[in-house]
Amino acid sequence: MKKVLALLLCVLLLAGCAPKWVQFSVTWTDLFDTVTTVSGFASNREAFNELAEAVYEQLKQYHQLFDIYREYEGINNLKTVNDAAGKAPVKVDGAITQLLSDCVDYHALTEGRVNVAMGSVLSLWHHARETKTLPSDEALREAAQHTDISKLIIDRENSTVFLADPDMRLDVGAIAKGWAAQKVAESMYGGWLLSVGGNVCATGAKRGDQPWVVGVQNPDGGSFLHTIPLSTGSVVTSGDYQRFAEIDGKKYHHIIDPDTLQPAAYWRAVTVVCGDSALADALSTALFVLPLNEGKVLLAKTDAEAMWLDADGTKYYSDGFEYLS
């Protein structure tokens, strides 16, 4: 595995801990196609590495199970499910049925703004970013006919998944990183900070009961937009600057509006703070594809707080967000 000893730039670390405990961090670049960092305290590097290795192995398992692009020997993953669409149910690990069941719940909560059954549409945009060629409106409309999440049949008792529409494809990119980070965080003890791409989880305070401090990245560089003290819980950001391609002189990012089938145009970034990283991941995507007032209505159904950044650099906050500082 490729490991680089570095901290993700969006995480600010405070000084001060008991003399016999030292803060360590490690970063991996081969999980979920993003940068993953874990930070924590241990008496020595060897002890830290042992604990970090356990975190890596858990995340690696989720990465392989939720991968829609690659096959892995002996594993039925989401690529296996997609390849069997319209043919037969696929026996899968319980983590897949649990994730997909949660995704159905998030689809209901967000009234379809987060839809893991949109894989047929998202694959066209993935291809567009790879080839620098825009998908046609006709192709997008045709793909959108195969995004009915009711055609996702989950049998948790028998641990199978079946796509009743042969042209449907799953894509869990809007939720998988946050979901995996949450599950791993729940298995950790003590004060750790885990960052999987834009998903940051704290499992407890630092040594000396000091909170971790998470910085919200400015899409244009420079100082952080906001800093958030975090002892437990999650901070998740979705933005137009994280994955994009420039095609014919225009930038096209990866967060697709289910209404227009185009990259969402309301915001540059949305940050969500709440106790559950999977929910925060789903909400950050949903809020990104909604105008402000509709987003606030959705947010009010949860215990989360949010910050929105528009194209002019103006920041908008939920009622409790500014009190998080």
Residues 206 and 306 in one domain: yes
In a domain, 88, yes or no: yes
In a domain, 179, yes or no: no
Per-chain mean pLDDT for the chain? 92
pLDDT at 7 over 50: no
Residues 60 and 196 in one domain: yes
CA atoms within 13 A on the CB side of 14: 19
Query: What pLDDT was estimated at residue 18?
Result: 43
- Which range is least confidently modeled, 14-23, 69-78, 238-247, 303-312? 14-23
Please give the share of the chain, as a percent, with pLDDT higher than 70.
94
- Dump pLDDT digits (tens) for 147-193: 999 999 999 999 999 999 999 999 999 999 999 999 999 998 889 99
In a domain, 93, yes or no: yes
Model confidence at 15, pLDDT cuts 50, 70, 90, reads very low
Model confidence at 221, pLDDT cuts 50, 70, 90, reads confident
- Dump pLDDT digits (tens) for 102-114: 999 999 999 999 9
Model confidence at 8, pLDDT cuts 50, 70, 90, reads very low
In a domain, 109, yes or no: yes
For residues 281 and 234, what is the distance between their CA atoms, to the nearest angstrom?
Answer: 9
Is the sign of the CA dihedral 40, 44, 47, 53 positive or negative? positive
Q: What does the pLDDT average to over 27-48?
A: 94
In a domain, 33, yes or no: yes
Model confidence at 6, pLDDT cuts 50, 70, 90, reads very low
Phi, psi angle pair for 30, to nearest 5°: -115, 20
Residues 254 and 194 in one domain: yes
Q: What does the pLDDT average to over 121-126?
A: 98
In a domain, 206, yes or no: yes
Residues 246 and 313 in one domain: yes
Residues 54 and 201 in one domain: yes
**CB count in 10 Å sphere of residue 171:** 22
In a domain, 181, yes or no: no
Query: What pLDDT was estimated at residue 12?
Result: 37
Highest mean pLDDT among 186-195, 204-213, 242-251, 309-318: 309-318
Whether residue 77 contacts residue 100, with contact meaning beta carbons closer than 8 Å, is answered with no
Query: What pLDDT was estimated at residue 207?
Result: 80
Whether residue 185 contacts residue 203, with contact meaning beta carbons closer than 8 Å, is answered with yes
Residues 208 and 309 in one domain: yes
Query: What pLDDT was estimated at residue 185?
Result: 94
In the chain the first and final C-alpha atoms are separated, in Å, by 36
Whether residue 204 contacts residue 192, with contact meaning beta carbons closer than 8 Å, is answered with yes
> Considering only CA atoms, which of 182, 165, 183, 187 is closest in space to residue 118?
165
Residues 84 and 197 in one domain: no
Residues 316 and 198 in one domain: yes
Residues 128 and 243 in one domain: no
pLDDT at 64 over 80: yes
Residues 199 and 309 in one domain: yes
In a domain, 27, yes or no: yes
More confident residue, 14 or 171: 171
pLDDT at 11 over 70: no
pLDDT at 16 over 80: no
Residues 194 and 57 in one domain: yes
The CATH number linked to 118 is 1.10.3980.10
Number of domains in the chain: 2
- Which residue segment(s) compose the domain that 251 sits in? 3-65+190-324
Residues 55 and 33 in one domain: yes
